[in-house]
Structure 1
């Protein structure tokens, strides 16, 4: 599910402050490295056995390298997904997302947006 309208999509932020503010919001950058892309996830477990949801914010480098830590990142529209063991996470609009999970995701995105606004840079690319 795309979580649009939060003002995060298309924001351009330097990688180091982005990593810091995402960590402050409880989001973890995926451990796999990439020269051009970043992915931040927030895991939400539920009382239902094997029911896990992920809030995901992705971005790509408009300059610099993620691996070197000098990248400037342009963020994409946040996603909310449901994990299906052993297949992975599905982000489709046909998924069923509990209202409390959607509300928690919106709260996290609001916190991220407030912090991103402090660190936005003008895009040169």
Structure 2
């Protein structure tokens, strides 16, 4: 059930995450890797999307242009500040968050699949 973009307290978030993990089937997106890490142990498979930083930069700029032109829907007003923030976040992800995630996934290497391209993703689901 999609409840939209809701900012929860840490206690609400952790309780909600526990209820999701108690269900039979779940998929969790891990951009917030520090608080979703308890899921790694229970996961059957962990997919790590590891696209090249330049490809992500291109996609950020392309999405911004598409949203400004009204071709792609945005849940926010696409501004140059947001573009800059996303661009900076991408750099921080590459140099800080990504190494943290790789380290966190170390103990689960037997169930981690690293996907670096659209072709790899497509072949995984054939």
Fold shared by both chains (TM-score > 0.5): no
TM-score when normalising by structure 2: 0.32
Greater share of helix = 2
TM-score when normalising by structure 1: 0.32
Greater share of strand = 1
Rg larger in structure:
2
